[in-house]
Chain A
């Protein structure tokens, strides 16, 4: 009897301590993420502008759907959505394929591997503003090194980040490439392949060796071993990577904004939101588009978890 009450007393003390220790974090996240989220809902249904920003609140306004109407009837609305999807899907896939390539390259030990692995992480750790500026400078139409190389090879100079569509002639066919968008996607792939690389390399090195050794004994070629043995075992990590990179790319703002400012057919939803907010001073419209972004993300996640993400369960 005594022992039990003592134990429950201990449990109570532990619970109290547990709550006390986690409380500051909960308050920070609650006050700075969940509460603002609530406020964002309120902002999206009232006529809030930068000019009357001090009067907008959580309550005491006539709810209106005006902001949603304004945002959806914007001429660029669907184009922005399409750009966001293309950018997100292509950027995600490119970064994962790049990560896979790097991980396979650095899988087996060789002299200097540690150094190469460290260098490979550079694009990911360099501040985004510096990375974007270097790309902009390298791709500059008048003095960028890439255009200099094109000159040497006898090609025509290109304004990579300012060209909406670029015609390329291959085998008598004329292809229209959305050049600026392609460059932004390449940037995304270049910048985030190290992230995928780290995860895939860790997964590769944790794989049991015996299956692959048995396959070698049985005469399987390297490409067969990759397709039929390694790749299937990597499915869980690839599916987590796809999820994470998709969400983060979908929410990404800095990269596109710093490279092109959203020009030349590269405007994604997040850039559009900031444009509503700072460019046009329409806080309500920005909030409404933010809600739409969050809703779309939620639906995509639901679809993904329902139909594609079954590894962990099965």
Chain B
């Protein structure tokens, strides 16, 4: 057997093992999470190996009920956290896209003085540590009374998602042939008409990918939520609520149920738009 043949066989076997390992690595934690989320904590303590629930436990839905019900009715009040996270994430997506699309179009298409510096500056901000900016924002927002509010969170998330929005959309706008827009202008459309009727529909996949990405950032965010709305339980987002409930009193399986609740929308959105997302992140890759 030559070295080449030997290697071909060896890597063939390694590849099969790698595929199994990859799937296990990515999937097992989620399976474990979903399994535990239905189990009463006593069951888990009695037999930690058996993490998959019985049908009765799934149908009983007890841990989820305990997590979702308002505090007044003996639950942990997650419905409220879901509401807060949804308000914050959806508002962030809408505002960021509104501001970002216009700015990205301007940076990709229009000529004006200082354009390069401005767009480069905004993108560089993306690499800057959030922790460092969070301290003065904490002080600023305390002074103007914006700290303990969902609006304050939305404003901060807007600032932290705008750079990546601009980066992704600008790249996509640059890839749309300019002739299409010029034809629109010649045919008597206004600039906004061109953006609305030609550029925007063409950029729809990129806009969808960006929207999803921004949603995920805002939905998953933890640091700013911790700094800004910790004092008021009514304003907790899902991330913060989960972290705050991680204590001796709350059974771990309930935390798993909370984790499933925060993960589910992200996974659903991700599968609905996976094609857009991977293309948006790695534009230029050849599909195969």
In the complex, which residues of chain A have a beta carbon less than 8 angstroms from the beta carbon of B288?
109, 205
**Bound CA–CA A227/B204 (angstroms):** 40
In the complex, which residues of chain A have a beta carbon less than 8 angstroms from the beta carbon of B107?
22
Contact across chains for A14 and B110 when beta carbons are under 8 A apart: yes
Task: Tell me the interface secondary structure of chain A in the complex.
Answer: helix
Contact across chains for B135 and A22 when beta carbons are under 8 A apart: no
Contact across chains for B129 and A251 when beta carbons are under 8 A apart: yes
Contact across chains for A133 and B256 when beta carbons are under 8 A apart: yes
Q: Measured between C-beta atoms, what is the minimum distance from A44 to chain B in Å?
A: 9
B180 at interface, CB cutoff 8 A:
no
In the complex, which residues of chain A have a beta carbon less than 8 angstroms from the beta carbon of B285?
201-203, 205-206
Contact across chains for A33 and B255 when beta carbons are under 8 A apart: no
Q: Measured between C-beta atoms, what is the minimum distance from A300 to chain B in Å?
A: 12
Contact across chains for B132 and A40 when beta carbons are under 8 A apart: yes
Contact across chains for B115 and A222 when beta carbons are under 8 A apart: no
Interface residues in B264-288 (C-beta closer than 8 Å to A): 266-267, 270-271, 274, 278, 281-282, 284-288
Given A14-B111, A126-B266, A138-B29, A25 and B282 touching (CB < 8 A)?
A: no
Contact across chains for B106 and A18 when beta carbons are under 8 A apart: yes
- Range, interface on chain B: 35 or more
In the complex, which residues of chain A have a beta carbon less than 8 angstroms from the beta carbon of B142?
53-54
Contact across chains for B103 and A25 when beta carbons are under 8 A apart: yes
**Bound CA–CA A102/B21 (angstroms):** 10
Contact across chains for A286 and B286 when beta carbons are under 8 A apart: no
B59 at interface, CB cutoff 8 A:
no
Interface residues in B206-220 (C-beta closer than 8 Å to A): 216, 219-220
Contact across chains for A133 and B246 when beta carbons are under 8 A apart: yes
Contact across chains for B32 and A53 when beta carbons are under 8 A apart: no
In the complex, which residues of chain B have a beta carbon less than 8 angstroms from the beta carbon of A28?
99, 158-159, 162
Contact across chains for B102 and A121 when beta carbons are under 8 A apart: no
For the complex, count residues of A whose C-beta is within 8 A of B.
Answer: 95
* Stretch of A139-147, A161-169, A228-236 at the chain-chain interface: A139-147
Q: Measured between C-beta atoms, what is the minimum distance from B194 to chain A in Å?
A: 11
Besides A34-B125, A119-B27, A134-B259, 16 more A-B contacts (Cβ < 8 Å) are A22-B102, A26-B103, A31-B159, A53-B143, A119-B22, A123-B26, A127-B239, A133-B246, A144-B48, A145-B32, A251-B129, A253-B131, A273-B132, A278-B227, A290-B129, A294-B129
Taking Cβ atoms with an 8 Å cutoff, the residues of A that contact B are 11, 14-19, 21-22, 24-26, 28-29, 31-34, 36-37, 39-40, 43, 48, 53-54, 56, 101-102, 105-106, 109-110, 116-123, 125-131, 133-135, 137-138, 140, 142-145, 147-148, 190, 194, 198-199, 201-203, 205-206, 219-223, 244, 247-248, 250-251, 253-254, 258, 270, 273-274, 277-278, 283, 286-287, 290-291, 293-294, 297
Taking Cβ atoms with an 8 Å cutoff, the residues of B that contact A are 3-4, 7-8, 11, 15, 18-19, 22-23, 25-27, 29-30, 32-33, 36, 44-45, 48-49, 51, 99-100, 102-103, 105-107, 110-113, 115, 118-119, 121-122, 125, 127-133, 135-140, 142-143, 155-156, 158-159, 162-163, 166, 191, 216, 219-220, 222-223, 226-227, 238-239, 242-243, 246, 252, 255-256, 259-260, 262-263, 266-267, 270-271, 274, 278, 281-282, 284-288
